[in-house]
Amino acid sequence: MQPFTIIFIGPQGSGKGTQINKLDAVLKEKDPTRQTVDIQTGRRFRALAARGEGYTEDKVSETLDSGVLQPLFLSVVLWGDAMRERINTDCHTLIDGFPRIVAEAVVLESALSFYKRTNIIVINLDTPEEIVRKRMEGRARKDDTAESIEARLDWYRNETLPVIEYYRKRPDTSVFDIDGTDSIDGVHNQILNALGLNS
């Protein structure tokens, strides 16, 4: 098995984190000698905010609750540090939470080149807004206010959807459109089928 580099894209509430965890378990079972690394920037932003050590942490905490998108430089710092600390040229790499905009995808290109990551796979969790809106409203996170949910959906629609089109045009890249309205196991099986891992 060749090492996978898989970018998960989908609106908040589409189940990216859940699907990454399920895929991580499959890869560890099918390819136990190779490390699997997942980099999830949302988790890293929440951990940063929880530290409360200075202006940056306080500002992140404040904006996490409002649904405002975090600044590009800080997102790049967090996932850049995660890559520096954890990945190499041979591990499976699962990415969630970036790139959020085309400019960030361009920055990511330099990291993919540095770590000799080729044949990039994008899992597009295509999930209608009304579905993810209900999921976010039901998960009882304090940052999931009505205003913040609409702000994030608006941002995703206008800024992140173009990232998927960016990857559709990128050489050596496969974009798989997954029906995010399916059950958790149904989505998982769609992903395994797309990756050729369902045997």
Has 67 been labeled as part of a binding site?
no
Has 180 been labeled as part of a binding site?
no
Has 30 been labeled as part of a binding site?
no
Residue 39 near residue 86 (C-beta atoms within 8 A): yes
Has 99 been labeled as part of a binding site?
yes
Has 186 been labeled as part of a binding site?
no
Has 44 been labeled as part of a binding site?
no
Residue 124 near residue 194 (C-beta atoms within 8 A): no
| Cβ atoms within 10 Å, residue 99 | 24
Has 22 been labeled as part of a binding site?
no
CA–CA–CA angle 71, 173, 23 (5° rounding): 75
Has 182 been labeled as part of a binding site?
yes
Sheet arrangement for strand 92-96: 36-40, 92-96, 5-9, 120-126, 173-179
Q: Tell me how far apart the 2 most distant CA atoms of the chain are, in Å.
A: 50
Has 141 been labeled as part of a binding site?
yes
Has 15 been labeled as part of a binding site?
yes
Has 16 been labeled as part of a binding site?
yes
Has 84 been labeled as part of a binding site?
no
Name residue, tokens 């520096």.
84
Has 196 been labeled as part of a binding site?
no
Has 17 been labeled as part of a binding site?
yes
Has 135 been labeled as part of a binding site?
no
Tokens standing for residue 56: 């940056």
Has 14 been labeled as part of a binding site?
yes
Binding residues: 13-18, 41, 46, 97-100, 139, 141, 152, 182
Which positions make up the binding site for ATP? 13-18, 139, 182
Binding residues for AMP: 41, 46, 97-100, 141, 152
